[in-house]
């Protein structure tokens, strides 16, 4: 199912009650190996009408606080002070807030707020444990792609904070990226903060899933709604030229 795009909501700060903190802490307690996150921001959040950089940083700080000590590492980069880091990772300053897992095999363009918080936390836990929840056949095929795929494919999932189905599409794409060791790159695009991307692909409902080979100028809208796992895999292979 897909959800029509409505208007953005003002979220200047995050507010998390103690009960919710305990739930998040319990989720993060499953972490086994450290997870490295790179957070890109700027003092005025690229001049956005709503400074989404502030709640995004607050969320990351909260997760570090609630995770087992040393298991979640957040490196922060400022567009004014860390110009070279932005260049190294290929982050466009006007897109902040931006979150990269590791070198960027999973990327968030925009704040993972609202419904997206669940998928974000679950991504952290699954990366830490290595248990992606994908079917064995899918995992085997993605492992093969990790070894011999001729090119990368970007899976752009366009989302909004109020979409209840988006987290499922995002989590699947994120796990494809992990299992393929970055041959699939998952890019989560928050529609309100990146309207140019949403407009480029004519997005009217979310989640919208776009696939783009690394040597292609633009991508193709492949799904509106949560894609079936086997269908996403087939489309990924097709964009790699393997079908």
Distance CA 1, CA 233 (A): 19
Cβ neighbourhood burial of 12 (10 Å; 0-12, 13-18, 19+): exposed
What digits encode the pLDDT tens for the residues 217-239? 999 999 999 999 999 999 999 99
Distance CA 41, CA 77 (A): 6
- Dihedral of CA atoms 52, 38, 23, 20 in degrees, nearest 10, equals -20
State residue 1's pLDDT score: 46
> Residue 145: what are its φ and ψ, rounded to 5°?
-65, -35
The enclosing domain of 227 has a CATH number of 3.40.30.80
Residue 191 sits in which domain range?
24-240
What digits encode the pLDDT tens for the residues 110-162? 999 999 999 999 999 999 999 999 999 999 999 999 999 999 999 999 999 99
What digits encode the pLDDT tens for the residues 1-35? 454 455 554 546 888 899 999 999 999 999 999 99
Q: In this structure, is residue 163 part of a structural domain? A: yes
Question: Does the global pTM surpass 0.85?
Answer: yes
Q: In this structure, is residue 13 part of a structural domain? A: no
What digits encode the pLDDT tens for the residues 33-83? 999 999 999 999 999 888 999 999 999 999 999 999 999 999 999 999 999
Check: CB of residue 169 under 8 Å from CB of residue 176.
no
Domain count across the chain: 1
What are the distances in angstroms from CA 136 to CA 17, 133, 159, 237?
A: 38, 9, 27, 17
């Amino acid at each position: 199912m897909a959800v029509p795009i409505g208007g953005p909501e003002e979220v200047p700060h995050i507010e998390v009650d103690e009960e919710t903190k305990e739930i998040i802490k319990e989720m993060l307690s499953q972490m086994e190996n450290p997870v490295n996150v790179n957070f890109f921001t700027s003092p005025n959040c690229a001049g956005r009408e709503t400074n989404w950089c502030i709640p995004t940083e607050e969320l990351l700080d909260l997760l570090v606080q609630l995770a087992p000590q040393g298991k979640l590492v957040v490196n922060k980069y400022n567009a004014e002070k860390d110009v070279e880091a932005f260049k190294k990772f290929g982050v466009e300053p006007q897109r902040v807030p931006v979150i990269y897992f590791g070198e960027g095999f999973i990327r968030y363009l925009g704040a993972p707020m609202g419904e997206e918080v669940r998928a974000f936390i679950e991504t952290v836990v699954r990366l830490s444990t290595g248990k992606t929840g994908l079917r064995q056949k899918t995992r085997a095929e993605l492992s093969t792609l990790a070894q011999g795929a001729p090119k990368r494919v970007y899976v752009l999932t366009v989302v909004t904070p109020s979409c209840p189905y988006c987290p499922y599409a995002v989590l699947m794409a994120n796990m494809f990226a992990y299992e393929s060791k970055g041959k699939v790159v998952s890019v989560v695009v928050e529609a309100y903060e990146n309207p140019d991307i949403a407009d480029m692909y004519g997005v009217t409902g979310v989640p919208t899933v776009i696939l783009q080979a690394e040597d292609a100028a633009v991508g193709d809208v492949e799904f509106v709604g949560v894609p079936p796992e086997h269908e996403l895999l087939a489309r990924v292979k097709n964009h790699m030229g393997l079908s």
